[in-house]
């Protein structure tokens, strides 16, 4: 017998929001039936219109607020900024931090059954705006001019945006300047529907500590009309630019970068520091977009590793070696593994750049390479994991349980998979000692955390 839903499409109802979803929508319940309403905050009483229903949940639109949350703030930007990924900009920063810290606590208890773990107060930013050091902005044409900005939700329509409030000012300036130059020169935008045109995206990268700027022009075609004039204008108007790069993506795809990358002007790399460690950043390099909080995150990982200088450390999912090189400052030997060959080339280059001879990098899947190292007698005293959102592979978790390193430091970008993996390690004889949430992406729903896990000798 099918369940009769307590609401119907187009109903207007009064609700009280109880929680937020992982993407920042308010959660209310009607006779146990969940409603997800964008822009609603916990504790608020409101009138909503039901715009979609199915067996499991409904979606509503906020119509009127009766009792706003004390954490609600006026959006500090024009309407366009909501398309830039700022799902939480209507919540005060104090409220954002509270929500994110609670999210970590709740999933550890619900998924990991870890009610007694010490979850420390989240570490936020002094200034939670203008922190991103990289932008990749799609381009289109409107009224004969180029526009660049963000896609409207669930559409391919670009909203022209002069400033993103989470991008570093130099990055905003670079994108706008290149847009203006290309528009003035008549360089046509790529048109997705016809697969014609030239300019697809404008990318800008900025070294927070060095002040060095990179501009990447992403086109459908191998040639750029008025290329020399464009380069001259960019170099003239952006004095911090050290590198102008051309990337060709000729495919019908939503993937931003193509296979062919050429330096048109200046250097192949710009440089930046996280703490005392220097990094070379190319157009294709993965590099953390919030360098201020990255140092906070890595300092905590290094603290939890508690290295004396005698340890052998393995860094799974090492990327371009950011955490590996941080650890190499205190460890005897660090081994890093990463599936992306280009990232490993970057990692090796960064090790040489910093004169660190006590770190080695290998290409491959962590869940394949680390078990192989273990069988060869290459066990770790400390193992650090910084996996993608899906969490650690089961084979890697089993290798940890077989290898039994004294400590595991887990750097997570997804509290749910962190909780799941901690439960597996706990069931295998480990004890989660500390969890430190870190707000890497203010104004968004994302939250990172570092966990310190030790092997329980008594098991």
Give yes or no for a contact between 207 and 196, defined as CB atoms under 8 angstroms apart.
Answer: no
Task: Name the active-site residue from 86, 182, 392, 413.
Answer: 413
Give yes or no for a contact between 451 and 315, defined as CB atoms under 8 angstroms apart.
Answer: no
b or e along 162-171 (b: 16 or more beta carbons within 10 Å of the residue's beta carbon)?
Answer: ebbbbbbebb
Give yes or no for a contact between 23 and 444, defined as CB atoms under 8 angstroms apart.
Answer: no
Give yes or no for a contact between 225 and 246, defined as CB atoms under 8 angstroms apart.
Answer: no
Give yes or no for a contact between 241 and 192, defined as CB atoms under 8 angstroms apart.
Answer: no
DSSP 225: T
Q: What is the DSSP string of 261-307?
A: EEEEEE-S-EEEEETTEEEEE-TT----S-HHHHHHHHHHHHHHHT-
Give bridge partners of residue 71 from the DSSP assignment.
none
Encoded tokens for 132:
């991103």
b or e along 18-49 (b: 16 or more beta carbons within 10 Å of the residue's beta carbon)?
Answer: ebbbeebbbbbebeebebbbbbbbbbbebebb
* Rounded CA separation 308/419 (Å): 29
What is the enclosing helix (H) or strand (E) of 203? strand 199-206
* Rounded CA separation 362/338 (Å): 7
Closest C-alpha among 204, 279, 214 to residue 240: 214
Closest C-alpha among 190, 185, 183, 177 to residue 219: 190
* Rounded CA separation 178/218 (Å): 12
Residue 257 φ then ψ, to 5°? -95, 140
Rg (CA), the chain: 24
Neighbours of 276 (CB within 10 A): 9
Verify whether residue 318 is a known catalytic residue. no
Q: What is the DSSP string of 415-434?
A: HHHHHHHHHHHHHTTEEEEE
3-class SS of residue 375: helix
Percent helix, percent strand, percent coil in the chain, to nearest 5: 25, 30, 40
Give the residue numbers marked as catalytic.
Answer: 413
């Amino acid at each position: 017998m099918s369940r009769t839903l307590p609401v119907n499409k187009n109903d207007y109802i009064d609700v009280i929001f109880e929680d937020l979803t992982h993407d920042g929508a308010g959660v209310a319940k009607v006779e146990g039936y969940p409603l997800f309403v964008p822009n609603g905050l916990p504790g608020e009483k409101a009138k909503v219109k039901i715009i979609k229903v199915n067996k499991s949940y409904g979606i509503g639109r906020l119509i009127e607020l009766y009792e706003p949350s004390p954490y609600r703030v006026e959006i500090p930007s024009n309407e366009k900024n909501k398309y830039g990924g700022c799902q939480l900009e209507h919540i005060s920063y104090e409220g954002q931090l509270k929500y994110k810290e609670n999210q970590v606590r709740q999933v550890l208890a619900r998924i990991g059954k870890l009610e007694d773990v010490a979850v420390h107060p989240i570490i936020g930013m002094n200034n939670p705006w203008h922190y991103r050091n990289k932008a990749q902005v799609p381009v289109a044409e409107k009224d004969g001019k180029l526009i660049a900005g963000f896609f409207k939700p669930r559409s391919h329509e670009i909203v022209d945006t002069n400033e993103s409030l989470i991008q570093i000012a130099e990055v905003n300036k670079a994108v706008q300047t290149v847009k203006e130059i290309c528009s003035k020169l008549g360089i046509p935008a790529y048109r997705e529907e016809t697969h014609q045109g030239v300019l697809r995206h404008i990318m800008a990268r900025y070294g927070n500590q060095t002040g060095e700027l990179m501009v990447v022009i992403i086109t459908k075609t191998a040639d750029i009309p008025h290329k020399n004039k464009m380069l001259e204008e960019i170099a003239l108007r952006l004095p911090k630019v050290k590198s102008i790069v051309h990337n060709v993506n000729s495919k019908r795809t939503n993937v931003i970068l193509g296979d062919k990358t050429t330096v048109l002007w200046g250097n192949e790399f710009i440089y930046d520091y996280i703490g005392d460690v220097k990094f070379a950043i190319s157009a294709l390099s993965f590099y953390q977009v919030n360098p201020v909080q990255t140092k906070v995150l890595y300092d905590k990982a290094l603290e939890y590793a508690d290295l004396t200088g005698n340890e052998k450390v393995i860094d799974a999912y090492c990327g371009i070696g950011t955490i590996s090189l941080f650890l190499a400052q205190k460890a005897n030997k660090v081994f890093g593994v990463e599936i992306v060959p280009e990232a490993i080339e970057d990692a090796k280059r960064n090790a040489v750049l910093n004169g660190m001879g006590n770190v080695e990098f290998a290409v491959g899947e962590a869940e394949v390479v680390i078990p192989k190292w273990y069988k060869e007698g290459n066990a770790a005293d400390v193992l650090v994991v910084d996996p993608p959102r899906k969490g650690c592979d089961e084979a890697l978790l089993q290798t940890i349980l077989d290898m039994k390193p004294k400590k595991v430091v887990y750097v997570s970008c997804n509290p749910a998979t962190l909780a799941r993996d901690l439960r597996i390690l706990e069931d295998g004889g480990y004890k989660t000692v500390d969890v430190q949430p870190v707000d890497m992406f203010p104004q968004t729903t994302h939250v990172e955390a570092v966990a310190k896990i030790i092997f329980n000798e008594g098991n």
